[in-house]
Chain A
Amino acid sequence: MKYLFLVLENIRRNKTRSILTGLVTMVMVLVVTLVFTVLTALDKSMVEKQSNLKAIVTEKWQIPSMMPYSYASALSEGGAAPDDPDAARPEDYMSWGFFVGSTEENPAKRSFENLFFSFIMEPEKARTMLDEVDGLSDEEALPLTTAIQRMKDVPNGVIVGQERLDKMKKRVGDRITVFGRNYRDMNLELEIVGTFPREPARYADSSVISRDYFNRQLDAYQQSHNNKPHPMAEKTLGLVWLRLKDRKAFNKVSGQILASPSFTNPPVKIETSSTGIGGFLEAWRDIIWGVRWLMAPACLLTLSLVISNAISISVRERQLEFAVMKVLGFRPNQILMLVLAEALLIGTVSGLLSAGLTYLVVNGMGGLPFRIAFFPKFAVPLDALWWGAGMGALTAYMGSVGPARRARSVKVAEVFARVT
């Protein structure tokens, strides 16, 4: 490390250039960090789990999936025939219906802002089956469990995420009326009994109402409409989640459900939740590809070019110096290392700094607010610090290896030979 001061002194020599090079690195690393934050989160959601996995059962052909609620109880058994001793059964289940409405009575004033979107489900399943909520400790999930308890006493209760509560300007304990949009002519009088915990951010805008309550509302509709059921009465089940021990159980349950005569009109399909999410994200496939394989590499390439330019200029200016050092006995490879070391130092430090700042600032804001599907925000992972340092180092290397070699091959004799 006795040569370190040579590297540092040279960085100091032209502070403007070093700072500018550092800034370019920081800027490009910022872009790539943001991009990878989103991409890695999407990738992770599509990783197939091998055990403790969740499967989703939906209508086979149509989107949106709309099944009769009568499917739910058979599905919760995994489609198992009641008398089959070898049948595989899921460890837990959750059914989802979707109620979309507005808190605004006047249809002309309805907008995105007063939209009300709610899951129709078994309230206690919110604790045990919702992604990311099921992983919380009891302490972290306390607001939710309290709310679920309340629902037992308040059948028309609704659990609302904090962000939605803020938008509606309501608090726990308030009552709201929701005018149905996908369920025409069904207006629900609800009481807000609780909220989701702040983490995970996914459910900050969601709500949950009780399936039993909703079914009773459908019955009430029928009674008040000449015993005619609501047009959507047989389409209230959107999807069913099943928790399965491992892939073997998944395969067995799949077979049971697909073979069962109970699910033929409409027919259903079953897939793991990661496959399901993957299918959902398929529409974004091309833009994800473009960002991953074109934009990010372009950033890194641009960065290498800029670094290469800066170091080349520097090497050209120092040709005489390098020759002198060779005269003094420095080996060619030592000269190469000096140039590389300077670039790597600037690159790695800037990259690390940039990633670190991004991590602090973006996560301080609550995450990157880019809405794709049901990901409301993306948090920068701690790994980003490694990516930043790594990218800084890699691009510094790519950019400086050419000029470093040129520095190495400075010919001593030719620099001094004068035809004089």
Chain B
Amino acid sequence: MLLLTPFAAAPWALSTDSPILLGAVSFVALLLLVIIFIGKVPLSYNLMNLRVRWMTTLMTAGAFTLVVWVQTFMLAFVNGMYAMTDSTGQPGNILILSEGSTDETFSNLGFADATDLETQEGVLKVDGKALVSRETYLNVVQPIPDPKPGRPMRRFLQVRGVDEPSLSAQVHGMKLQAGSEWFTDAGVREVGKTGETAIEVVLGDGIARDLGADRKRDVLALAKNNSRLDVGEMFDVGGRQWVVTGVMEPTGSLYDSEIWTKQSQIGALFGKPNYTTFAVRADPDFRKDQRESFLESRRQKAEEAYRKALAEREADPTLPKPTLEVIKRPTSDDAWGAELLRDYFANEYTKSRFSPQVETTFFSAMTATNLQFLIAILFLCFIMSLGGVFGVMNTMFAAITQRTKDIGVMRLLGYKRWQILVSFLFESVMLAILGGLVGCALGSLVDGYTASSVVSGGPGGGKFIVLRMTVDFSTLAMGMLLAVVMGFLGGLIPSLSAMRLTALEALR
């Protein structure tokens, strides 16, 4: 039913990009309309029967409800994962890591690399300043104080040390919430009376909420904001106290789970003096005149690579099947700038060895875990739905046996075979729709709940994220589609057998 090629967005997103779902839904809707209005099928008879045998109706529909509910719930989780990776990244940004790094934690860049970078032509400059954010990214373990039983005992914090927070915010499109401030140049401040210092930090909205949940009741009661940590509050990491100077506006991206602080502070604290990442905003007009030729040459290269891989496979059939890389046309000036700048750093820039990536691509490539989960969940839901199909088959067989006389009478009155078929099919699909609607309604209740997970693009690296479970229209459509298909398949065989009875056989 689904083509499991990795889409950048969740494969079932109801948009012009996924004709599959749109087509399926329209087809079903059309079919139902035809049945109801055009076929002279005795639908009221079927609906009456559903009402009279309400207990059976409820139980059969109940099975559908459960299956659809489970699927909706699971898909909400995967949606959350995709939403995170999809909505992260500014279209005009490229991320530069050191050569060969796939993950920020393993990347190692020097100061000199940065200064030269800023002079490059394709880098966007605003008021004379190059939009290059120099960053050191690390994952820090934080034991959770007084963990509640059954809840996690430690947290893996995403910490990003930056040189100039306001510049980094500009590059990443992050803003501070009202009442927040960036940390000072020193990056520390004195707290308490004995001259202890706390490291100043700015929190993403998501991690602010997560850390806020650690607060004990008495602290919470006095807190300004009891849903998240706020300005002036403190927490412990790495043996030091950290103090919040501000919280960033939520963006629905992975950056909401980050803690930003002064690079010089955490570089020293965790022994990582070098940078790991340069986030660079590309000039949207960079090499504007070369856009078409660039696209053309990339497509040609992709085709050549494909042909070569095909030839290699012919020589050695054990090689995996090659796929043609689809080069999409960038959809905005920002995106064009990023692609062209990335290409420049990858192929022409020789002063340092970088591994540049378009930021949006970097994050959408982190869908490997998503896909694995998705496949596993769909597989399990598929098996469960088989159960639902057999269940409704049982119900329909019994109903038909019970109503054999009715069928005989209808045939006698002149109803045709196909009308009998459609009539009973309609009944089972109605059961399915009833159950499916309730299942979708229940499933949508999880929308907005948070859950933790890992997104990773490959071995070794990975971001521990807190995601928002999302039930959107497409998810609900998937749920209803599942229900209708189950109802249809389950009702098909019994309805076919009902159709086969002659009037005489039925009335005997």
Residues of A within 8 A of B398 (CB): 17, 310, 313, 317
Contact B384 A28 (CB under 8 A): yes
Contact B397 A63 (CB under 8 A): no
Nearest CB in chain A: distance from B456 CB, A: 10
Contact indicator per residue, chain B 365-404, by CB within 8 Å of chain A (1) or not (0): 0000000110010001001101110110111011000100
Beyond the given pairs A30-B383, A115-B458, 18 more chain A to chain B contacts, judged by CB atoms under 8 angstroms and listed by A's residue number, are A21-B394, A27-B384, A31-B380, A31-B384, A60-B141, A62-B270, A100-B459, A181-B101, A182-B460, A269-B141, A282-B152, A283-B462, A287-B453, A298-B69, A302-B67, A310-B398, A317-B398, A370-B372
Contact B66 A182 (CB under 8 A): no
* 8 Å CB interface, A358-372 against B: 370-371
CA of A98 to CA of B373 in the docked complex: distance in angstroms?
Answer: 27
Nearest CB in chain A: distance from B445 CB, A: 12
Contact B59 A283 (CB under 8 A): no
Contact B452 A181 (CB under 8 A): no
Contact A64 B451 (CB under 8 A): no
Residues of A within 8 A of B99 (CB): 107, 184
Contact A284 B62 (CB under 8 A): no
CA of A155 to CA of B348 in the docked complex: distance in angstroms?
Answer: 40
Contact B393 A20 (CB under 8 A): yes
Does B349 sit within 8 A of A, measured CB to CB? no
Residues of B within 8 A of A285 (CB): 152, 452
Given contacts A231-B108, A266-B271, A302-B63, contact A63 B156 (CB under 8 A): yes
* 8 Å CB interface, A1-56 against B: 16-17, 20-21, 23-24, 27-28, 30-31, 34-35
How would you classify the secondary structure of chain A's contact residues: helix, strand, loop or mixed? Answer: helix
Contact B383 A305 (CB under 8 A): no
Given contacts A169-B318, A279-B154, contact A62 B141 (CB under 8 A): yes
Residues of B within 8 A of A113 (CB): 320
From B56, B106, B459, contact of A312 by CB (8 A): B56
Given contacts A282-B153, A283-B452, A290-B74, contact A20 B394 (CB under 8 A): yes
CA of A35 to CA of B377 in the docked complex: distance in angstroms?
Answer: 11
Residues of A within 8 A of B402 (CB): 317
Q: Can you list 17 A-B contacts (CB < 8 A)?
A: A21-B394, A27-B390, A61-B141, A63-B141, A283-B462, A286-B77, A295-B74, A298-B66, A298-B69, A299-B387, A302-B387, A302-B391, A306-B63, A309-B60, A310-B398, A313-B398, A370-B376
Residues of A within 8 A of B462 (CB): 283
From A16, A169, A294, contact of B397 by CB (8 A): A16
Range class of the A interface residue count: 35 or more
Contact B384 A305 (CB under 8 A): no
Residue of B nearest to A98 (CB): B460
CA of A290 to CA of B152 in the docked complex: distance in angstroms?
Answer: 15
Nearest CB in chain B: distance from A312 CB, A: 7
CA of A301 to CA of B67 in the docked complex: distance in angstroms?
Answer: 10
Does A303 sit within 8 A of B, measured CB to CB? yes
Residue of B nearest to A166 (CB): B318
Contact B100 A184 (CB under 8 A): yes
Nearest CB in chain B: distance from A33 CB, A: 11
Does B480 sit within 8 A of A, measured CB to CB? no
Does A117 sit within 8 A of B, measured CB to CB? yes
From A31, A279, A309, contact of B153 by CB (8 A): A279
Contact B139 A107 (CB under 8 A): no
Given contacts A27-B383, A61-B140, A61-B141, contact A305 B70 (CB under 8 A): no
Contact indicator per residue, chain B 119-155, by CB within 8 Å of chain A (1) or not (0): 0000000000000000000111100000000001110
From B63, B74, B77, B454, contact of A305 by CB (8 A): B63
CA of A263 to CA of B67 in the docked complex: distance in angstroms?
Answer: 54
Nearest CB in chain A: distance from B505 CB, A: 18
Does B352 sit within 8 A of A, measured CB to CB? no
Contact indicator per residue, chain B 93-115, by CB within 8 Å of chain A (1) or not (0): 00000111110011010000000
Does B73 sit within 8 A of A, measured CB to CB? yes
Residues of A within 8 A of B238 (CB): 60-61
CA of A41 to CA of B294 in the docked complex: distance in angstroms?
Answer: 51
Contact A62 B139 (CB under 8 A): yes
CA of A295 to CA of B376 in the docked complex: distance in angstroms?
Answer: 13
From B59, B140, B453, contact of A63 by CB (8 A): B140
Residue of A nearest to B376 (CB): A370
Does B195 sit within 8 A of A, measured CB to CB? no
* 8 Å CB interface, A270-314 against B: 278-279, 282-287, 290, 294-295, 298-299, 301-303, 305-306, 308-310, 312-313
Nearest CB in chain B: distance from A367 CB, A: 14
Greatest chain B CB density within 10 A among A27, A98, A107, A180 is at: A27
* 8 Å CB interface, B200-254 against A: 237-239
Residues of B within 8 A of A294 (CB): 70, 73
Does B48 sit within 8 A of A, measured CB to CB? no
Contact A299 B384 (CB under 8 A): yes
Using CB atoms and an 8 Å cutoff, list the residues of chain B in contact with chain A: 55-56, 59-60, 62-63, 66-67, 69-70, 73-74, 77, 98-102, 105-106, 108, 138-141, 152-154, 156, 237-239, 270-271, 318, 320, 372-373, 376, 380, 383-384, 386-388, 390-391, 393-395, 397-398, 402, 451-454, 458-460, 462, 464
CA of A299 to CA of B393 in the docked complex: distance in angstroms?
Answer: 18
Nearest CB in chain A: distance from B28 CB, A: 23
From B69, B397, B464, contact of A283 by CB (8 A): B464
CA of A299 to CA of B460 in the docked complex: distance in angstroms?
Answer: 35
Contact indicator per residue, chain A 106-119, by CB within 8 Å of chain B (1) or not (0): 01000011010100
Does A267 sit within 8 A of B, measured CB to CB? yes
Residue of B nearest to A182 (CB): B106
Residue of B nearest to A19 (CB): B390
CA of A24 to CA of B393 in the docked complex: distance in angstroms?
Answer: 10
Using CB atoms and an 8 Å cutoff, list the residues of chain A in contact with chain B: 16-17, 20-21, 23-24, 27-28, 30-31, 34-35, 60-64, 98, 100, 107, 112-113, 115, 117, 169, 180-182, 184, 231, 265-267, 269, 278-279, 282-287, 290, 294-295, 298-299, 301-303, 305-306, 308-310, 312-313, 317, 370-371
Residues of B within 8 A of A295 (CB): 70, 74, 380
From B140, B376, B391, contact of A306 by CB (8 A): B391
Contact B59 A308 (CB under 8 A): yes
Residues of A within 8 A of B395 (CB): 309-310, 313
Contact A64 B459 (CB under 8 A): no
Contact B372 A371 (CB under 8 A): yes
Contact A303 B397 (CB under 8 A): no
Contact A283 B156 (CB under 8 A): yes
Residues of B within 8 A of A269 (CB): 141
Residues of A within 8 A of B102 (CB): 181
Residues of B within 8 A of A63 (CB): 105, 139-141, 156
Residue of A nearest to B449 (CB): A286
CA of A236 to CA of B460 in the docked complex: distance in angstroms?
Answer: 15
CA of A284 to CA of B81 in the docked complex: distance in angstroms?
Answer: 12
Nearest CB in chain B: distance from A316 CB, A: 9
CA of A309 to CA of B56 in the docked complex: distance in angstroms?
Answer: 6
CA of A317 to CA of B454 in the docked complex: distance in angstroms?
Answer: 53
CA of A279 to CA of B152 in the docked complex: distance in angstroms?
Answer: 8
Nearest CB in chain B: distance from A10 CB, A: 14
Nearest CB in chain A: distance from B395 CB, A: 6
CA of A30 to CA of B387 in the docked complex: distance in angstroms?
Answer: 10
Residues of B within 8 A of A279 (CB): 153-154
Residue of A nearest to B154 (CB): A279
Contact B383 A31 (CB under 8 A): yes
CA of A283 to CA of B156 in the docked complex: distance in angstroms?
Answer: 9
Contact B153 A28 (CB under 8 A): no
Residues of A within 8 A of B388 (CB): 302, 306
Contact A283 B453 (CB under 8 A): yes
Residues of B within 8 A of A100 (CB): 459-460
CA of A112 to CA of B458 in the docked complex: distance in angstroms?
Answer: 8
Residue of B nearest to A117 (CB): B459
Please provide the 5 A-B residue pairs with the shortest distance between their CB atoms, ordered closest to farther: A306-B391, A286-B451, A63-B139, A283-B454, A309-B59
CA of A282 to CA of B465 in the docked complex: distance in angstroms?
Answer: 11
CA of A370 to CA of B464 in the docked complex: distance in angstroms?
Answer: 19
From B373, B387, B391, B460, contact of A287 by CB (8 A): B373
Nearest CB in chain B: distance from A70 CB, A: 14
